[in-house]
Amino acid sequence: MLAQLAAEFPDFWPEWNMPYWVTSLLRVVGGLVAVLLPAGGIVYLFLFKMMSFMQSRLGPMEAGPYGSMQLLAATAGRVAEIVWTDGRTNVAVCRSGRAIIVHGRAGDRVSIIPGMVKATGVSTAGLRWTLENESLSAGSSRGISNIMIGERAVITVDSGIVLAIHERTDQ
């Protein structure tokens, strides 16, 4: 078909004399564009757009090592109390207007992680490094690895949700 068109309109279809390596390069580049462009579109559509859509339905969660903890925090508004334990470590959800009392021993480690984006008015008692009306943002190390100074610690939060992680030490 192209040969017929070229025969009928010789001035419209110029004859290009290119070296073999140029035509090979054009074929390779054309083949890569033909394969990678749709593949890139599929990756963009499914990995970025669909995952963004799914996350918007689950709430403002971040992927990574704290994903399951954020899922735990996201359900905190629906039940009275949540405690997650493996026998040695307890994770309790503390939401606004409530206090968490951690029972343990002096030397136990307590970490406070914001469950969602930001928690404000976080206060503690019974820990080596006290927090008084502090703001904790996601990714902050401000409430991590605190030490209990007695058998009891109290954690309160004014706004938001925090996860109180109590790790028992073997003394």
Name the residue ranges covered by the structural domains of the chain.
Answer: 2-57, 67-167
Starting from the edge strand earliest in sequence, which strands make up the sheet with 146-147, in order? 83-85, 89-95, 161-167, 109-114, 146-147
Q: Where residue 83 falls among pLDDT bands split at 50, 70, 90?
A: confident
pLDDT tens, residue by residue, 39-77: 777 776 666 666 665 555 555 544 444 555 556 556 655
pLDDT tens, residue by residue, 117-165: 788 999 999 999 999 999 998 778 888 899 999 999 999 999 888 888 9
Say if residues 146 and 165 touch (Cβ distance below 8 Å).
Answer: no
Q: Read off the pTM.
A: 0.56
pLDDT tens, residue by residue, 86-130: 778 888 888 888 888 999 999 999 999 887 678 899 999 999 999
Residue 65 is predicted with a pLDDT of: 47
Query: How is domain 67-167 classified at the architecture level of CATH?
Result: 3-Layer(aba) Sandwich (3.40)
